[in-house]
Structure 1
Amino acid sequence: MQIKYIVTSVFLLFFLSSWNSGDKKVINIAGDWTVALDSTDIGLKNGWQNTAFKQSMKLPGTTDDAGLGVPNKLKPSIEKPQMSHLTRKNSYLGAAWYSREITIPKNWKGKEMLLKLERVLWKTNVWIDGKELETEQNSLIAPHYFDLSKYLIAGKTHRITIRIDNRKLFDISVDNMAHAYTNHTQIIWNGVIGKMEIEAFDAVRISNLQIKPEISSGTAQVKLALNNNTNKIAKGILKITAVNKKSNIPVATLQKDIQVKMGKSVIEVDYNMGKDVKLWSEFSPELYELKAELNAAKNTLTISADFGMRSFSKKGSVLTINNRPVFLRGTLECDIFPLTGYAPMDKEGWRKVFGTAKNWGLNHLRFHSWCPPQAAFEVADEMGFYLQVELPVWVLKIGEDQKTTDFLYAEAQRMIDEYGNHPSFCMWSMGNELQGDMTVLTKLMNSLKAQDARHLYTTTSFTFENGHGKWPEPEDDFFITQWTKQGWVRGQGVFNSESPNFNKDYVASVEGMTVPLVTHEIGQYAVYPKIDEISKYTGVLDPINFKSVKEDLERKGLINKAADYTQASGKLAVILYKEEIERALKTAGISGFQLLDLHDFPGQGTALVGLLDAFWDSKGLISAEEFRAFSAPVVPLMRFAKATYTNNESFTASLDISNYAESNLNNQEIEWSISDGNTVIASGNTKATIAIGYNHKVLDLNESLQKITKASKLTVKVNLKGTSYKNQWNIWVYPQQQTIDYGKVVYTRNLDEAYKLLNAGKKVLLNPDWKKIKGIEGKFVPVFWSPVHFPKQAGTMGVLCNPSHKALDHFPTDMNTDWQWWDLNVNSTTLIMDSVVGGNPIVEMVDNFANNRKLASLFEGSVGTGKLMIASFDLSTDLEKRPVAKQMLISILDYMNSSSFNPDTIKNPDALKLILKEEKEKAKEGATSIY
C-alpha cells in the first residue's frame, strides 16, 4: 500500500493549537436519579418502565452508597459469617430500577446516539418512554453500550429507565470468589460507578481504533473499525497524526483517500513514527496520543487513543521489554477498596495504588480474576507499570457450561476493544487457578493470540488440575506457578522444613523451562489484625471482623497485647517476604514474582497478609525504603550457608547482584561491612561492572568470627556507592567454648518430679519432651493466608518476647521471630496457657486471631516455696551441634541462678497437669496440608 505523507509548518501550528479542543457531542446524564428496588421482580408486571420513583439517589453510585438495601444485623463474634470478609452496612441483591428525564439537543437531528454506562454489575436493560430496547448488556469489565437512535428525537424530553440486575448471570467462580463479582474484596453492588453519557455520532464514523506498535520498524499498525449507516459508499479523507504527550510535539501526518463501505468495515494502515521515536518502559513511560480524523459524508469525526511504542516479549525463558531483560516485581490487586466496595473510576484513586507500589519498589501488578477500569490503565501507562490482566473467571469446571464459555469470549473481545491499546497491558491470563477442560482454555487463548499480538498469554494463573500446573501448557507464552515437576518455586514449601540457608535458589526447579516463569502468589504470611485500623472504615463496609477480634481480646484481658501481636507477626512476615523475593531474584530462569500480597486482603477469612493495610497505607512493620533494598531494579544479594555460627567459624559468603535497570553499572564501587551495631567487625570495597541481568559471584567474603566473644547479632551490609541500591542481612554468633552451669537449678523432663522439687523449695527447669506433650505444633512460619479460610493448619503467628528480659540477657533477639529462632521453634510444642492463673510468659507465641489463646514456649512462675521455669522447646538434644539451643539454655540458667529470678506465683499449679499431659506423638504438618 502506497502511503502519502503531508507535513507542513502550517499544519503543525494548527495541530498544536487544536489537538485538545475536542468536538465530541456528549450529554452527561450523571446526577440525581429516582430509584426503586425490585427484589421480587414485580417491576415489569407493574409497569415501572416509564415511572419516576419516590426514592432518589446519585448516579454514578451504588445502592450501598445510598444506604439502600437490607441493613446488617450481624454482631461481632469469632464466627465464619463475621470473619469471612468486611460486612456491608446495607446489602441488596436483585433488580433495581433507575429513572430520570433527559432533553436531547435540537442540533442532534439525524445523529446516531449511543448510551454508555461504565461499570455495571451485572445485567442492564433500558427503556425510553416505556419502550424497551431490543438488546441487553452483561459485561463485568467493559462499559454497557446501547444504541438509542431509534428512540430519541432531537429537541424533545424523554424518560430513560434502566433496570440493573446484580444477580449472578454466569458460573464464573466458586463461592463467588472471582474478584469481578464477589463480596470478599469489592462487593456485589447495584448501580453504575463510572461515566454515564449519551454521545451523538454522524452516520459515517470511526467506531474503534486499535494501535499495534512495531519497534523494529518504528511503525504503528493502525486498525480502524468504520461504521457507514447510509445507503451508499462514502468517499472520505483519513488523516492520522501522533503526538508525544510529554513534549506535545507531533510526529507527522499520514493522509489517505479512502472509501467507506456500507455497514461495518475495517481499514489498516502503517504509520511511521519517525527517527526520534521514544520507547515506553518502566524507566521511560513515553506515551503518544494517536488521532484519526475522518472527513466523509460532509462531516468530520475524530477518534484518539493513547499508546506506547513498546515490545513486551520473551527470549527463551526470559521476559523482555524492548529487547532488554525485565524482572517483574509484582503484587496482586484484587479489587480491594474498602471505603466504597468498588474500584475507583478516576485516575486520582489509582495514583494512590500505583504510586505506593512504585514507592515500595514494584513495577508490576496482577489483576486477579478481573480487569480494571480505564483509569487504572491510564495511570499505569503514565507511571510505567507492567500489568497482568485476567478474564473474570475462577472455576474448577471450565468448559462445562457453554454459556459461560461464550461469555468469556465476549468479555475478551470487549477487553481488546476497550483496553488493548494501553502499553501497560502486557500480560493476559485466562483466569485464576482454573480447572476442568484445559483444551477449552488453550482454544480461547489461541484465538486471542491470533487476534491481538500486543500481549503475552497464558492459559491460567496456576492450576491444581491433575496433569497440569507443574509445567507450561504447550502454547503458553509464560508460566505462572508455585511449583514445577522438579520442586517448589516459593518458600511456603521449604521455610518450615529446611533450616535457614541463604545459598538457596530454585534453579533445579526451573531447569529445562522453555518460557518465562513467574512465581505464583508468594508469601501469604498472615499478620495479626491491626485493631486501631477500625476507625479508618468510614464508608459502606463495617469491619466486623476486626471488631470481633477486638471484643474477643477484651473479653480475655488481652487487648493490651494487640499492638504487639501485630508488630511481632508482621516483622516475621517481613523477613519471610524478603527471603521469598531474594530466592526468586537469585534464580536464573525466573522472570518475576507476584506477591500475595503487599497489602491486606480483607476477605476469604480475613487474610491480612500485607505489610500495608487494605488502604495501601503502611502498618509500620518496615519502611518503603527498607523494602526497596530487596525489591528494586538493582538488588545486592548475599549467598551464605546459615544464619547462626559459633565464634570458631568463619562467615563465608559471596555477593551476587541482580541488575534489571536500564543499563550496565560500569566500574561500580561496592562497599561492604559487618558490624554488631556499635563496632565494625570487618569491611572492604571493590569495583566491578554489573551487567544487565543476573551477576553471579561479584565478591567473595571469608571473615573470621573469633573477635566475637559474647553472643551477638551481626549485620552484614552492602552498598553500591553513589546509588540508592543497598541491602543487609542478620547473622548470629555464639561463643563456642561455653560450659553449661546448672548451679542451683535442677533440670527435669518430668512434671511429677518437678512438683516434688518445687515442694522442696528448689529452682526447677522443666523441659518436657516436646514430641509427647499436649499443645500446638511448633512452627517457624506463621499462619498461611487465613486461619478462618484454612482452619486445618497448626496456626501460630510467631514469637513475641521482651528482648530486655533478664532470661534473654545472653540470647540476642528482637521482640519477634528472626532466623535464629528456627531450631527452637520447629523443635517445640507451643503450650496453651489459658487455664494458668499467675506466672509470666517470657517467650510467647502469637496465636492466630480465630482463637486468641495465651500461648508460650518459655514460662516462669513460683509454686509453693519453689521457682519454676517451663521450656517447651528442646534444650537437651545434641546441644554441641545446636548452638542456638545451647545459648538459650545458658541464658535461662544464668537468669535462674541470679537474684532476678523471682517470678509471680502460679495460683493453680495443678493446671499444668492438663497442659503438659503426654499424648501420642503426632506427625508434623506438611506444606500442602492446608489444602
Structure 2
Amino acid sequence: MKNILVLVLASFLLCSWSVIDKKVIDISGQWTVQLDSTDIGLQNGWQNTIFKQIVNLPGTTDDFGIGIPNKLKPGLSKPQLSHLTRKNSYIGAAWYTREIEIPNDWKGKELLLKLERVIWKTNVWIDGKEVKSEQNSLVSPHYFDLSGYLIPGKKQRITVRVDNRKQFDISLDNMAHAYTNETQIIWNGIIGQMNIEAVDPICISNLQVNPDIDLKKIKVAVTLNNGSKSAQKGVLNIIAVNKKSNESITAVTQKVHLEKGQSVVNLDYNMGKDVKLWSEFSPELYELKVQLKVKKSISEKTVDFGMRKFSKNGTVLTINNKAVFLRGTLECNIFPLTGHPPMDKQGWQKVFKTAKEWGLNHLRFHSWCPPEAAFEVADEMGFYLQVELPVWVLDIGKDKKVTDFLYAEAQHMIDEYGNHPSFCLWSMGNELQGDMALLTEMVKNIKAQDSRHLYTSTSFTFEKGHGALPEAQDDFFITQWTNKGWVRGQGVFNSESPTFNKDYKVALQDVTVPLITHEIGQYAVYPKIDEISKYTGVLEPLNFMAVKEDLESKGLINKAADYTKASGKLAAILYKEEIERALKTAGISGFQLLDLHDFPGQGTALVGLLDAFWDSKNLISAAEFRQFSSPVVPLLRFPKATYTNNESFVASLDVSNFSGDVLDNKVIEWSIMDDVTVIASGTVSKTITSGYNHELFTISESLQKIKKATKLTFKVSIKDTDYKNQWNIWVYPQQQNINYGEVVYTRSLEEAYKSLKEGRKVLLNPDWKKIKGIEGKFVPVFWSPVHFPKQAGTMGVLCNPTHKVFTDFPTDMNTDWQWWDLNVNSTTLIVDSIDGGSPLVEMVDNFANNRKLASLFEGSIGSGKLVIASFDLSKDIEKRPVAKQMLISILNYMNSDLFQPAAITNPDSLKLILSEEKEKAKESATSIY
C-alpha cells in the first residue's frame, strides 16, 4: 500500500509540473560550401556569401566527393600499405552557409547553437557578424550563444567556418585516433546533431549525478544560469524513474536562491530501498528529471544514470562491491565506410552487440572519446568503457597550450559524458612519455573533480624509469610488463617452449593496484582478399587491392583464402592462450586485446579475428571464442603440448568466475578423446566461488593405450551451464625406431646431388643455422610488416593435413602448439626460384612480400627423388619427440610407393637457396620497437 501511495504522489507531482514544449529547430539539411585552402575567405568577405556548391549536412567533404582526388594506384609501397586511402582528401578551412528563420515566439529567449562533432576549430557568423568565441574541442559538441545575433521571425544567414588543420600538437605522426588518417580520417564537415535551442535566461545548464549505492542515494549537482539583472528565488522539482519498469522514486521539491550569473546547487536524493544496480549483468538505467521554476519561467533537464560503484579492492577491480574482470578490446575509431564514428545509436549497436557475442564486456577507446550515442548503447547493454583524452605524444608537458587544451577537454568529457554508468575508466592518453609528474598531477586534479571513474596516468609508457610499476595517483595500471617480467605472451610465446601451467603471478609481486594487460595479441592475419568489395564508402582499400594484384602476378591468387585461414587460425590459438594466461593470474583484473577486429592503419595491421566492419572472418566462431572469454571460464593447467605414450597426462582445473555469483555444487564433466573415441572421462562436484578458483581438482591419466601418433582433445564443461572449454595435446609412440630404408639422409647439398644423380631417394636436412632464408618463428608477424619492417615476418604453417607425408604426424592445415620445436629450430626457405617440385610445409609470407616460402619441399631431379627439410631433424632427436615423429613420418612417406614428386627443372637453383651465410642472431621480443 505504501508503494502505491509513493507512486501516486510521484505521479501527482509530475502532473503538477508545467508541460514544457522544448524549443529546438534542426538546422541539418541543405547547405552550401566553399573550400578555402589558401585562407582567403575572411579577407574576401565569405562570411557574407552564399556559395554555389550545395551539400547536405551532417556530412563531410569526403562524403561530398570534394577535395583532392586520389591519384594513387594499388602498389606494395608505403603510401598504399600505410592505411586505407581517401578517395578525396582535404585539410584546411571550409565555409558552410545556409538561411535559417527563428520562430516569432522565441523573443526573449537565449539561443544556443549545437554542432555535435567537428574537427577541429569552428567560427560562426550571423548575417556576416561574427559570434564571439571560437570552439576547438575534439571530444564534445561545439556550442555557440547566438543570443543577440538572431532576430525571431526574420530570415538570416548562418555561416560556419570549419578548420580541420592541427590546432595543438597532440599526436605523434598524427596517430592519436581523435585526429588521424590511420583509422578514421581527418575529415572536414559537421556530423551528428545540428540544432538551435531556445532557453529562458534563467535555466538549468548542466546536471551531474554521482551515485552512492551503499547509502542508496545520489548526489545531484544542478548548474543554474541566471541571466536576469538580479538574484532570484525559485523551486527545483526532482524525480528519478526506472527506465525499464517506469517506476518512479519519491519526488523531491527544494527552494533555491539564484545569484546573478552561474551557480551550482548540490543536494542528496534518496533512491529508496529497492534500488536497482547497474552492471554488465543488469544494466538498469534511471532517468533523473529536474525542473526549475522561477516566476513564470520554467526550465527542465533530464539525464540518464545508473546506480553503480566501479571501484577497487586492493588489486581487484569491483563493480558494486563484487569482483569484475575486464574482457576487452580496443576501439580505435575504425569505421571504413564513413571515416568517422557513428553519431546515432544504430551505428554503435553493431559494435557492442558483436563484442558481447564474442564474450567481451569492455571497450577501450584508444586516444579518443566517442560521441554520446556510444555511451548510450554501452549503458543499455552493460559495457564497461575506458575513455581517453585525445593525446599520444612522447613529450607530454612540453607545451603548456597542449596541457591547457587537455584540461579543457577533460572538463568537456565530465560535463557531456560523466553521468553515463558505462564510463568507468579514464586514462590521460596512450603510451605517453615526457613529464610523468604532470600526468600524475592531471590525474589528481581530474579525480578530485569527478570521483565517478577510476583513473590512470597513461595506457602504458616506454618512458625510462616508468611503466614497470604504477604512478603515484593511478587507480589501475595498464602495462605490457612490470619490474618482474612480462604480462603478455608477445614476450614469451616464441622464446619459451609451450607450457600451459604458467601465469604472471611473479610479475605482479610489487603491483598494488588492479593491473590490466596492455594491447595483448597483435598477431597479424593475412588480408582477406574478398573483403575488397565491402569498401563502398569514402575509403579505397588500395592496400588489399595491391596484395591481390601481386598475388595474381605471381600466380598465387588461388592461395589467398588459405593464407588468411592458416594465419588466422594461428592467431586465434595465440589469442586463446593470451587470454587464458591472464585469467589464470590472480591480481590481473582484465585484458585489452589489440584487437578483436582489424586495424586498417599503421601499415595495415590486420590483427583481428573480425574484419574492420566487425564481421567475422570465419576463423573461429563466436561460440568457440566465448569458451575462453566469458564471465566463467574453465582453465586447465598442464605442463606441455606434446607427450610420448610412456608418460601420463597430468593436469589441474581452475575456474575463473566473474559472474558475480557463487556457483553452488556444480557438476564439472571432463573427457579426453581422439576424433571418435573417449579415452578417459569423469565428473566432479564443486562449489565455484566468486573470483579465481585455483586447482579445483587434478587428473593423471596414463597415455599407454595410445599406440600411434594421435591428437587428443581435453574437454571440460560445467553441467547445466553454457560454460565449457577445450585444449589439444599430441601423443607419439615412445618406442619407435627411425628406419631410413631406401632414403639417404644428408646435411650436405653436394652429397645430395651425388645421390640424386645415382637415382637415390634423398632427405636433405641442411644445418638450419647456416643456410640462407628467414628466421623460423612460431609466432606470426607482430602488428604489421610495414609498421615494424625489421621483424622476421612470416605468418605460420600452411599444409595439407591429408597429404601422405603427414600420415604419422597428425596436424591441421595451420600451426598449432606441436609445431613450436620445428618452427623455432628452422630457417624458412625462399623457394620462388625453384621451377617445379612442390612445398609440403609452406610458411605463409607477410603480405608486403608474398614470396613462396617452405620448410619442407619435395621434387625429383633426374631419376632421383628429393625432400628438403629446413627444420632441425638431427640434433638431440631422442629428446625431441616432435622432431623425431616428423622424421619418421617423412621417411615412411619417402619409402612408400606414394612418393612420386614432380620434377625440379632447374636443380641448380638449390645452390643459391641453400647457400651458407653468417649465422643470424635470434630476434628478441622487444627488437621490433
TM tier, smaller: over 0.9
Q: Which residue in the other structure is 2:240 paired with?
A: 242
Q: Is the 8 A contact 2:7 2:250 kept in 1?
A: no
| Aligned-pair Cα RMSD in Å | 1.2
Q: Which deviations, in whole Å up to 9, do the C-alpha atoms of 1:265-288 show, x marking residues without a partner?
A: 111000000010001000000000
Q: Which residue in the other structure is 1:72 paired with?
A: 70
Secondary structure of 1:251's match? coil
Amino acid at match of 2:893: Y
Paired residues for 1:439-838 under 5 Å: 439-838=437-836
Amino acid at match of 1:921: E
Match of 1:373 among 365, 371, 374: 371
1:800–1:15 CA distance, 2 compared to 1 (3 A): farther
Secondary structure of 1:500's match? coil
**Cα drift, residue 426 of structure 1:** 0.2
Distance in 1 of aligned mates of 2:661 and 2:48:
64
Q: Is the 8 A contact 2:6 2:249 kept in 1?
A: no
**Cα drift, residue 12 of structure 1:** 3.4
Amino acid at match of 1:209: L
Distance in 1 of aligned mates of 2:729 and 2:18:
59
Secondary structure of 1:411's match? helix
Match of 2:135 among 134, 137, 148: 137
**Cα drift, residue 134 of structure 1:** 1.7
1:923–1:299 CA distance, 2 compared to 1 (3 A): same
Distance in 2 of aligned mates of 1:250 and 1:18:
15
Q: Is the 8 A contact 1:319 1:591 kept in 2?
A: yes
Secondary structure of 2:653's match? strand
Distance in 2 of aligned mates of 1:550 and 1:17:
65
What percent identity do the matched residue pairs reach? 75
1:106–1:529 CA distance, 2 compared to 1 (3 A): same
Secondary structure of 2:117's match? coil
Amino acid at match of 2:730: W
Q: Is the 8 A contact 1:204 1:297 kept in 2?
A: no
Amino acid at match of 1:846: V
Paired residues for 1:330-479 under 5 Å: 330-479=328-477
Distance in 1 of aligned mates of 2:48 and 2:631:
59
1:20–1:673 CA distance, 2 compared to 1 (3 A): farther
Distance in 2 of aligned mates of 1:415 and 1:434:
19
**Cα drift, residue 44 of structure 1:** 0.6
1:324–1:10 CA distance, 2 compared to 1 (3 A): closer
Secondary structure of 1:595's match? strand
Q: Is the 8 A contact 1:7 1:253 kept in 2?
A: no
Amino acid at match of 2:348: W
Amino acid at match of 2:219: Q
**Cα drift, residue 22 of structure 1:** 5.7
Distance in 2 of aligned mates of 1:543 and 1:467:
41
**Cα drift, residue 136 of structure 1:** 0.2
Q: Which residue in the other structure is 2:915 paired with?
A: 917
Q: Is the 8 A contact 2:7 2:248 kept in 1?
A: no
Q: Which deviations, in whole Å up to 9, do the C-alpha atoms of 1:662-713 show, x marking residues without a partner?
A: 2000000000000001000000001000000000111101000011000000
Distance in 1 of aligned mates of 2:62 and 2:560:
31
**Cα drift, residue 297 of structure 1:** 3.5
TM-score (norm. length: structure 1): 0.99
Distance in 1 of aligned mates of 2:172 and 2:254:
52
Match of 2:293 among 292, 295, 306: 295
Amino acid at match of 1:153: I
Amino acid at match of 2:461: T
Q: Which deviations, in whole Å up to 9, do the C-alpha atoms of 1:305-325 show, x marking residues without a partner?
A: 000000000011100000100
Paired residues for 1:122-201 under 5 Å: 122-201=120-199
Q: Which residue in the other structure is 1:259 paired with?
A: 257
Q: Is the 8 A contact 1:493 1:927 kept in 2?
A: yes
**Cα drift, residue 13 of structure 1:** 3.5
Amino acid at match of 1:602: P
149-158 vs 103-112, greater mean Cα deviation? 149-158
**Cα drift, residue 6 of structure 1:** 14
1:22–1:761 CA distance, 2 compared to 1 (3 A): farther
**Cα drift, residue 439 of structure 1:** 1.1
Residue 204 in 1 paired to residue 202 in 2? yes
Residue 92 in 1 paired to residue 83 in 2? no
TM-score (norm. length: structure 2): 0.99
Secondary structure of 1:431's match? coil
Amino acid at match of 1:138: N
Amino acid at match of 2:311: S
Distance in 1 of aligned mates of 2:20 and 2:239:
15
Q: Which deviations, in whole Å up to 9, do the C-alpha atoms of 1:859-915 show, x marking residues without a partner?
A: 000001100000000001111110100000000001101111110100101010010
Q: Is the 8 A contact 1:527 1:610 kept in 2?
A: yes
Distance in 1 of aligned mates of 2:5 and 2:327:
42
**Cα drift, residue 18 of structure 1:** 9.8
Q: Is the 8 A contact 1:114 1:148 kept in 2?
A: yes
**Cα drift, residue 24 of structure 1:** 1.4
Distance in 2 of aligned mates of 1:223 and 1:308:
16
Secondary structure of 1:642's match? coil
Q: Is the 8 A contact 1:6 1:255 kept in 2?
A: no
Secondary structure of 2:789's match? coil
Secondary structure of 2:208's match? strand
Could you list the runs of 5+ residues in structure 1 that have no partner in the other structure?
none
Distance in 1 of aligned mates of 2:591 and 2:797:
27
1:720–1:15 CA distance, 2 compared to 1 (3 A): farther
Distance in 2 of aligned mates of 1:476 and 1:18:
47
1:438–1:900 CA distance, 2 compared to 1 (3 A): same
Distance in 1 of aligned mates of 2:425 and 2:6:
39
**Cα drift, residue 128 of structure 1:** 0.2
Q: Which deviations, in whole Å up to 9, do the C-alpha atoms of 1:822-877 show, x marking residues without a partner?
A: 00000000000011110000000000000000000000000011000000000011
Distance in 2 of aligned mates of 1:807 and 1:667:
48
Paired residues for 1:293-332 under 5 Å: 293-332=291-330
**Cα drift, residue 732 of structure 1:** 0.1
Could you list the runs of 5+ residues in structure 2 that have no partner in the other structure?
none
Q: Which deviations, in whole Å up to 9, do the C-alpha atoms of 1:597-649 show, x marking residues without a partner?
A: 00000000000000000000000000000000000000000000000000000
Distance in 2 of aligned mates of 1:876 and 1:561:
31
Amino acid at match of 2:310: F
Distance in 2 of aligned mates of 1:609 and 1:840:
29
Amino acid at match of 1:198: I
Secondary structure of 2:445's match? helix
**Cα drift, residue 299 of structure 1:** 1.1
1:613–1:234 CA distance, 2 compared to 1 (3 A): same
Distance in 1 of aligned mates of 2:426 and 2:19:
35
**Cα drift, residue 512 of structure 1:** 2.7
Amino acid at match of 2:481: W
Q: Which deviations, in whole Å up to 9, do the C-alpha atoms of 1:405-447 show, x marking residues without a partner?
A: 1000000000000000000000000000000011111111111
Distance in 2 of aligned mates of 1:167 and 1:699:
61
Distance in 2 of aligned mates of 1:133 and 1:106:
21
Q: Which deviations, in whole Å up to 9, do the C-alpha atoms of 1:754-811 show, x marking residues without a partner?
A: 1011011000000000000000000000000000000000000000000011111110
Q: Is the 8 A contact 1:6 1:252 kept in 2?
A: no
Secondary structure of 1:193's match? strand
1:21–1:355 CA distance, 2 compared to 1 (3 A): farther
Q: Is the 8 A contact 1:7 1:252 kept in 2?
A: no
Distance in 2 of aligned mates of 1:649 and 1:85:
50
Distance in 2 of aligned mates of 1:592 and 1:433:
18
Q: Is the 8 A contact 2:328 2:361 kept in 1?
A: yes
Distance in 1 of aligned mates of 2:79 and 2:17:
54
1:440–1:43 CA distance, 2 compared to 1 (3 A): same
Q: Which deviations, in whole Å up to 9, do the C-alpha atoms of 1:130-169 show, x marking residues without a partner?
A: 0001200000010000000010111111100000000000
Q: Which runs of 4+ in 1 moved over 6 A?
A: 15-21
